[in-house]
Amino acid sequence: MALKILFVGGTGQISYPCVERAVVQGHNVSVYNRSLRGDPLPAGVTSIVGDLAAPAYADLAKANYDVVCQFIAFTPDQVARDIDVFAGHCGQYIFISSASVYEKPPRHYLITEQTPAINPYWRYSQDKIACETLLKNSENLAWTIVRPSHTVRTGLPIMMGDSDVMARRMLDGQPTIVAGDGHTPWTLTRSVDFAVPFVGLFGKPAALNEIFHITSDRAHIWDDIQKTIARLLDVEARIVHVPTDTLVRYNPEWVGPLRGDKAWSAIFDNSKVKSVAGEFTCAESLDEILAEPIMHLKQRLAKNRPPRGDLDALVDRICAAQSALG
């Protein structure tokens, strides 16, 4: 059955393939954003240009969408406004949270939706948890919370810093950093694979007032991820392993991305979302997962190769200090 869908966002790393999938499935799709991204929307999609903070945002409720997909709310005040706008005016409100909300450090190697949402290290995750709490306590709004993990389309997966700078360092034969010993399992999911079960949750009664994560079932260690990126760039990775505690002493801004996320193993049980959205498969080989990000990287570097800067100087300093330790 064709549903009337609103994407708030719709042109981002994860949301764009979801818009494409919704169109393919025959839904009537509208996208609300500032129209600043370069990718043209799929044929048949209605573009509504606006800002989350604009007074006209509240007018979206008048359309009484079957499903509202909120991809660009990151703070409790933004979700509180959505509750005011859409309560009683949509059939299903889907909030994009994050799998980084799960407890750190994990008490069990396999993450399920029952894993506690406790992250003392990263403000981003704490804000997402607060957003989820608002939804759980809301009235007259049928919500669904979706927690993506590390989902890739245009950007390369790295542990911290700017991925284009790290790729440029690889191409120039310079060392890059992996936190820990490089053997931490980490799950990467292509956005196009995420889109299938995500759209499969639309209009499902069993999805209402429930939480789901959507990820691949396969994890890879960080050393293999970085070595595959280098191989696909036709270079050899020069990986320097640095303890997480050492890295965050050099740059406290890395506490969130590392202690609050990528320094811990991330392996997920997707049986809950499969029971509602249906079975789905994800690319498992790193070559297939990284093909699209590598393509986008090469396009960006051809137009604008990032110059050496402060991040390079910091990475060089850390690598030199680590090498001096033997």
pLDDT computed for residue 36 by the predictor:
73
Strand segments, DSSP code E, in the chain are 4-8, 28-33, 46-49, 67-70, 92-96, 110-111, 143-148, 150-152, 176-179, 185-190, 210-214, 219-221, 239-242, 267-268
The one-character DSSP state at 37 is S
Q: Work out the average pLDDT over 84-92.
A: 97
pLDDT at 326 over 80: no
* 83-110 mean pLDDT: 96
- If you average pLDDT over every residue of the chain, what do you get? 96
What pLDDT shows up at residue 1?
A: 85
Contacts of 169 (CB under 8 A, 6+ apart): 175, 176, 312, 315
Q: In a 3-state reduction of DSSP, which class is residue 181?
A: coil
Residue 53 is predicted with a pLDDT of 87
DSSP string covering 270-321, please?
Answer: -HHHHHHH-------SHHHHHHHHHHHHHHHHHH-PPPP-HHHHHHHHHHHH
Average pLDDT over residues 136-155: 97
pLDDT digits (tens, 9 = 90+) for 265-323: 999 999 999 999 999 999 999 999 999 999 999 999 999 999 999 999 999 999 999 98
Is the model's pLDDT at 193 over the cut of 80?
yes
Dihedral of the alpha carbons of 313, 225, 325, 261, in degrees to the nearest 10:
80
Pairing of strands 239-242, 176-179: parallel
Residue 129 has pLDDT above 90, yes or no: yes
65 touches 2 (CB < 8 A): no
Rounded to whole angstroms, how far apart are CA atoms 324 and 322? 5
Sign of the four-CA dihedral 248, 253, 258, 261:
positive
Q: What is the pLDDT of residue 35?
A: 81
Q: Which tens digit of pLDDT belongs to each residue from 19-50?
A: 999 999 999 999 999 887 667 899 999 999 99
Number of neighbouring beta carbons within 10 Å of residue 40: 9
Report the phi/psi class of residue 122: left, alpha or beta, with left for phi > 0 and alpha for psi in -120 to 50: beta
CATH topology of domain 4-152+188-214: Rossmann fold (3.40.50)
List the chain domain ranges: 4-152+188-214, 163-187+220-264+284-318
Q: Same topology for domains 4-152+188-214 and 163-187+220-264+284-318, yes or no?
A: no
CATH topology of domain 163-187+220-264+284-318: UDP-galactose 4-epimerase; domain 1 (3.90.25)
Non-local CB neighbours of 141 within 8 Å, separated by 6+ positions: 83, 86, 87, 88, 90, 93, 135
pLDDT more than 70, % of the chain: 99
Whether residue 135 is predicted with pLDDT greater than 90 in this model: the reply is: yes
220-276 per-position pLDDT tens digit: 999 999 999 999 999 999 999 999 999 999 999 999 999 999 999 999 999 999 999
ω into 17 cis (within 30 of 0): no
What's the mean pLDDT in 187-206? Answer: 98
What is the structure's pLDDT at 38?
Answer: 65
Give how far Cα 302 sits from Cα of 40, 168, 169, 176, 297, Å.
Answer: 21, 11, 15, 21, 9
Edge-to-edge strand order for the sheet containing 150-152?
150-152, 185-190, 219-221
Give the per-residue pLDDT at 320.
Answer: 96
CA pair distance 96, 236, nearest whole angstrom:
36
pLDDT over threshold 80, residue 175: yes
Instruction: Return the sign of the alpha-carbon dihedral for residues 289, 153, 16, 83.
Output: positive
Rounded CA gap, 87 and 126, in Å? 24
**List of residues 6+ apart from 277 with CB closer than 8 A:** 196, 197, 198, 200, 201, 204, 207, 212
Higher pLDDT: 52 or 110? It is 110
